[in-house]
Amino acid sequence: MNVDLDLLRQYNQSLPRYTSYPTAPHFGEAVGRETFRAEVWRANTAAPEAPLSLYLHLPFCRQLCYYCGCHMKVTHDPARIAKYLRYLKREIDLLAPMLSSDRPVTQVHWGGGTPTLLSPEQIRELGEHIRDRFRMAPDAEMSIEADPRGLTEDHIAAAREIGMNRLSLGVQSFDPTVQEAINRVQPERLTRTAVQWARDHGIESVNLDLVYGLPHQTPDTMADTLGGVVDLAPDRIALYSYAHVPSVLEHQRLIPEEALPAPTERLRLFKQALERLTTTAGYRFIGLDHFAKPDDELALAQDNGTLRRNFQGYSTRAGADVYAFGLSGIHQLSGLYAQNTKNLRTYYDQIDQDELTVYRGYRPTQEDRLRRHVIMQLMCNAEVQKGAVEAQFNVDFDAHFSAALDRLRPLEQDGLVALGPDAITVRPPGRLLVRNVAAAFDAYLHDAAPDAQPAYSESV
């Protein structure tokens, strides 16, 4: 895939990642536990056999990675982890009876934090707890995030025993100098061993996470990391841009700013990685920051138009309501977004009162649903058919979105999109800047005053 650095520089700006629409900064406390309960009942009554997706947040890590933007807590206390696990199971017990037993779970994801900070026995315990309370689809996609540091073969064996078939490993960079600067020293052999364990135990898909724009990262260190990653032949690769926002994440002040690549160099690192993965290594660029082998489910779903996007990123399981368990987890139902509390003490107190832990959310309007549909079509399938939108939402596409189409005309002139009479199509160069294309339809982004905009990561 050819990359035009001038275009990347021109269009690189702070924009949402569109894992939802409206995005999480627009959630408010007008949506609370009672609103969430009512929506769960409504959704369950309206579609008692609709599929479910479950997200479990395990927030604990052994140490703080300085680049991290996740909701996490550092601990070395096994008792603290065991307590959280008890409450997580109780939260599951509160919500599971509200859902029809006829609804199959087609997707499960354990994220963090570091889910594999649980012991192998605790992994089995939590997995069995879920299976006892939900009907798992025979072909359910079950994934777990893992840190190769501290990971054992017993962890992988336990994950496989409870049905995990996908593993995501954090790599970021194989370069020791970069690793030291971000406080994540992880010898390459640990990652290689973890991948081998996954293959040996029948894990069907392995994903490796990389980050570009890290301190002391250079074309040479990126080349070495990419070479090591390609040699491991993961099924999927996520290539994230490091967002340096020390004003929001105070621990990022521990990263020396003078060691960060200059903006142009950071874009060159992205170009280097993109070309290596797609041209030499044969991976398909799915979109945004995801790559997959051509025969991977993500690539196949994109080919047949069934790729979807939620708070876990790109997904092949269409039409599933997402129910989230644990600190900060976000529920994603057809008629509501709702987020659990981020405060651990509040989380425990509310569960002790047999209450769900939702503290904020958002109920999309019909206009939100319309714009969400268009944005997700662009993000997932690089095209939106005007006639299909008009039939589904009873609007005149060109009239309704005249302002958005005007915003897209400069992108059309630069070869990023094609504005046809029947469809809007993201051209190959535009797929690298699909957030810019989608943002044209974001009413919240364009209606708010500049000083009222949330802080988003850069689009490249």
> Which pair of structure tokens corresponds to residue 449?
């005053």
Is 113 assigned a ligand-binding role in the annotation? yes
User: Is 335 a known ligand-binding residue?
Assistant: no
The closest of 65, 61, 110, 99 to 81, measured between CA atoms, is 61
Is there a binding annotation on residue 150?
Answer: no
DSSP states of 35-86: HHHHHHHHHHHH-TT--EEEEEEE-EESS--TT--S--EE---HHHHHHHHH
Per-residue tokens: 287: 């979109």
Residue 184, marked binder: yes
Q: Is 70 annotated as a binding residue?
A: no
209 is in an annotated binding site: yes
330 annotated ligand binder: yes
Does residue 110 sit in helix, strand or coil?
strand
In this structure, how many other beta carbons lie within 10 angstroms of the beta carbon of residue 26? 15
| Structure tokens, 452 | 């009222």
Contacts of 413 (CB under 8 A, 6+ apart): none
Check the annotation: does 380 bind a ligand.
no
Q: Does a cis peptide bond (omega within 30 degrees of 0) precede residue 22?
A: yes
The values of phi and psi at residue 220, to 5°, are: -70, -45
Place of tokens 């206009």: 367
d(CA 99, CA 380): 29
* Residue 175, marked binder: no
145 appears as a binding residue in the annotation: yes
Q: Which one, of 324, 315, 336, 299, lies nearest residue 43 by Cα?
A: 336
- Is 69 assigned a ligand-binding role in the annotation? yes
What is the Cβ-side half-sphere exposure of residue 87, based on CA atoms within 13 angstroms? 25
Helix, strand and coil in the chain, % to nearest 5: 45, 20, 35
Residue 362, φ and ψ in degrees, nearest 5: -160, 135
Number of H helices, E strands in the chain: 18, 19
Q: Which amino acid is at 252?
A: Q
Binding positions for [4Fe-4S] cluster are 61, 65, 68
Binding positions are 55, 61, 65, 67-69, 112-114, 145, 172, 184, 209, 243, 330
Binding positions for S-adenosyl-L-methionine are 55, 67-69, 112-114, 145, 172, 184, 209, 243, 330
